[in-house]
Amino acid sequence: MTSANPDRSETVAFPLAGNNDSGSAYVAWPNARGPHPGVLILHELLGLNQDIKRIANRFAAEGYLAMAPDYFGPGFRLGCIVRCVRSLHSGEGPAFDRLASAQQWLSTQTEVDPNKLGVVGFCMGGGFAVLHAVRSDVHVVAEYYGDVPDDVEKLQGIPPCFAGFGDRDSVFASKAQKLRGHLEYLGVDHEVISYPNAGHSFMSQNDGVLAWLGAKGPMNVGYDPTAAEDSWSRMLAFFSLHLNDPGASPPS
């Protein structure tokens, strides 16, 4: 992905439903005046880092008010990750509550059209994205190399869905066919792309020890510019189609 500079970006606090606490999110505003479509961007296992902010900035450059919430919440990082994994498997818990509160904040911004909301998730965030989309009123969802529930009924009510997976990712590559089958069974408009030369996290430009170790493992973690740019273009077109005309079907 290329970089982009939004007109305005900042870290914001948003209220959490049911208590007096608040969550934290990075928000990037488009250069033009609204109303704009809004998008929630759900981070990877590495958390709300600079790369997720980069992705939010690019959404803003495309005309979206982009919000990347920290759905891990406060506390010891490994403990947060463990709790989120449990939430993902159970389909309930504080992470989902944080996402619902983040969407509420996003949808009530004066510069956002609440009838044009999307959610996109990467890695762990991809699994959360599809389940959040089922239980919320977002109008389109994108999942990147995340988990897919075995039970098709857990996706009942999902909006139009775009997804991208890397065939060299030996852990999550098979999820593409599972997701495609679920969406076909449910009759949901979708586009699920598998990239033969890409591995896990092909959209992400992370560095450091964890990225180096991931590249050496069975998931073949690493940025793939060809797959990333192709997927970015396809995903934007899919979002535009369904946010501008919710009843439309994707082109064949």
Three-class secondary structure of residue 138 per DSSP: coil
Residue pair 28/36 in contact (Cβ under 8 Å)? The answer is no
Distance CA 249, CA 127 (A): 24
The residue among 212 and 33 whose pLDDT is bigger is: 33
Residue pair 36/21 in contact (Cβ under 8 Å)? The answer is no
For residue 79, pLDDT over 90 is answered with no
For residue 34, pLDDT over 90 is answered with no
Residue pair 177/197 in contact (Cβ under 8 Å)? The answer is no
* Residue 20 covered by a domain: yes
Domain span at residue 113 reads 8-244
Angle, vertex CA 39, rays to CA 37 and CA 42, nearest 5: 180
pLDDT band at 32 (very low <50, low <70, confident <90, very high): confident
pLDDT, mean of residues 26-31: 94
Q: How many residues does the chain have?
A: 252
Q: How far is CA 117 from CA 20, 137, 138, 161, 242, in A?
A: 26, 8, 5, 13, 10
For residue 243, pLDDT over 90 is answered with yes
Task: Share the mean pLDDT of the chain.
Answer: 89
Q: How far is CA 22 from CA 65, 140, 193, in A?
A: 20, 26, 36
* Residue 137 covered by a domain: yes
* Residue 51 covered by a domain: yes
27: CATH: 3.40.50.1820
* Residue 249 covered by a domain: no
The residue among 165 and 207 whose pLDDT is bigger is: 165
Angle, vertex CA 199, rays to CA 141 and CA 173, nearest 5: 60
Tokens of 250: 């994707």
* Residue 177 covered by a domain: yes
* Residue 250 covered by a domain: no
What pLDDT is recorded for position 91? Answer: 72
Which tens digits make up the pLDDT trace of 111-140?
999 999 999 999 999 999 999 999 999 999
pLDDT, mean of residues 79-106: 81
The residue among 63 and 7 whose pLDDT is bigger is: 63
As for how many domains the chain has, the answer is 1
* Residue 252 covered by a domain: no
Instruction: Tell me: cis bond preceding 114? Omega within 30 of 0 counts.
Output: no
* Residue 1 covered by a domain: no
Q: From edge to edge, which strands make up the β-sheet containing 65-69?
A: 8-15, 22-29, 65-69, 36-42, 112-122, 140-144, 161-166, 190-195
